Structure 1
Amino acid sequence: MRHSDWIRSQNQYLWEAMQTHRFVTDIEKDQLPLDVLRRYFFFEHAFVETAVLIFGHALLKAPGFAQQRKLIATLSALSEAQLVWFQDCFAALGIGTKGSPLPKAVDDFATGMLGIAEDGDYAAIVTIMMAAEWMYGTWCMRAHQHPSTEPMLRAWVQLHAEPDFLSGADWLRAEVDREAAALDDAGRMRLADLFGRALQLEIDFHEAAYDSTWPVPKAEGNA
């Protein structure tokens, strides 16, 4: 068994909880409420800068030039292509760029993931990002088989089911496999614990999109 598979197996309950979260099943059934989608995109957009910082820490702690080259490409995609995508998304859905203070679960997701990147080593960082990207790739591959009728949601799912994204998730798995192979049992369990922490943060983050008390910011002219 690959080390990445073993790490996931130690967190199977959390993995299944995320794969069957109502956010995922609502998308698969094409019944995600539009305000939930708007909140989710606003929260996800707010996380992009944090993701850049996380991968920045990975770049600084990477063990070699091959890893650094891959991470530079990832940072470029996050800071350029993804931000442009969100601009189009916000315009299409009438989402404003300024809203109320973010819910605690959304803040906790950012601070929790960034804290692991700041305090941890390279193995820790690729493990938590593997959790996020492997999780997304898995459910988006399913959802992609039944495209949403909402164009921006359909595009978002497709983005995470395309070969470029899936190859990035596979690269993270390979990095975790290599890093874990050099660790003892306690070190591998540490990575399994971090994988579980990342999944729990993801679960709470996606649940926050259903908080109807958080007002979705409206773009100017869409009041």
Structure 2
Amino acid sequence: MSPAPTTDASATDATATDATGRLSLWLRDRSEPDWSAVVAHRFTGELIAGSVADDVMRRYLIQDHRFVDGFVALLGAAIAAADRFETRIPLTRFAAMVTSDENDYFLRAFDALGVTEATRRDTPDHAATTTFQALMTEARLTADYPCCLAVLVVAEWSYLTWAARADGRLPDRFEHAEWITLHDNPFFRDFVGWLVSELDRVGPTLNDDARARVEDLFRRAVAAERAFFDAAYQDNRD
């Protein structure tokens, strides 16, 4: 059974911008213009259209796959830091999806795009990859549930928002189409809705210092997502 959504996670127009209202919407507004640049990025537009060049897709997937380990560790930190058992269940189920369905997609896409294990091993991290990995580590090491949520919400909410733009119209190649459907399907929509609602739930419990830490992580995560999409069009040595 998937967690039930309590907010429209794919909405893009804020209904509250005050810190005493929905924290998620306030944080999203505070992250502009990077948020809008992420969800309407050239890469996601080309992906939805099925026109993204193979070299761009290879570059993107090689780098993105390197987030899996750190992302699962961040989920683990959120599970450990969560304030109640009911909260741990959806996070655990999502971690299982990432390590099964999503990881399987990466391996099949690498084969289809001719990306060998040697290429994956020998390709250096892009600076944008290093930045986002460090940010996930920073959030994880806080051992603080709201801080972990801040980065998790950016990663998943922004992806649902851009993937929903496809509106069910998928490109022909599975390397493109399946990456979209992994980020816009009933389970994922329910999970992201729940995840965003968790950030809103803990919002009123945060003092000024804690809210400032969450805002800082959220805004830097959005900027890191934008830089990561940009990096798909850059040589790894740039």
2:141 equivalent to 1:82: no
Report 1:45-194 matches (<5 A): 45-97=65-117, 98-119=121-142, 121-194=144-217
For residues 112 and 3 of structure 1, the distance between their equivalents in structure 2, rounded to whole angstroms, comes to 20
2:37 equivalent to 1:14: no
Letter in 2 for 1:136: Y
For residues 12 and 192 of structure 1, the distance between their equivalents in structure 2, rounded to whole angstroms, comes to 12
Change (3 A) 1:213 1:65: closer
TM-score (structure 1 length as normaliser)? 0.88
Q: Deviation string for 1:48-82 (max 9, x for gaps)?
A: 11111111111111111111222221221122222
2:54 equivalent to 1:31: no
The 3-state SS of whatever aligns with 2:33 is helix
Q: Is the 8 A contact 1:27 1:143 kept in 2?
A: no
* Cα shift at 1:145: 4.1
Q: Deviation string for 1:167-193 (max 9, x for gaps)?
A: 111111111011111123453343222
Task: Among all aligned residue pairs of Structure 1 and Structure 2, give the percentage whose two residues are the same amino acid.
Answer: 31
Change (3 A) 1:148 1:99: farther
Segments of 5+ residues of structure 2 without an aligned counterpart are 1-15, 17-21
For residues 209 and 134 of structure 2, the distance between their equivalents in structure 1, rounded to whole angstroms, comes to 25
For residues 60 and 120 of structure 1, the distance between their equivalents in structure 2, rounded to whole angstroms, comes to 8
For residues 167 and 65 of structure 2, the distance between their equivalents in structure 1, rounded to whole angstroms, comes to 21
* Cα shift at 1:5: 1.1
2:61 equivalent to 1:41: yes
Please provide the CA RMSD for this pair. Answer: 1.8
For residues 81 and 19 of structure 1, the distance between their equivalents in structure 2, rounded to whole angstroms, comes to 23
* Cα shift at 1:86: 1.6
2:223 equivalent to 1:200: yes
TM-score (structure 2 length as normaliser)? 0.83
* Cα shift at 1:120: 5.0
The aligned residue for residue 3 of structure 2 is none
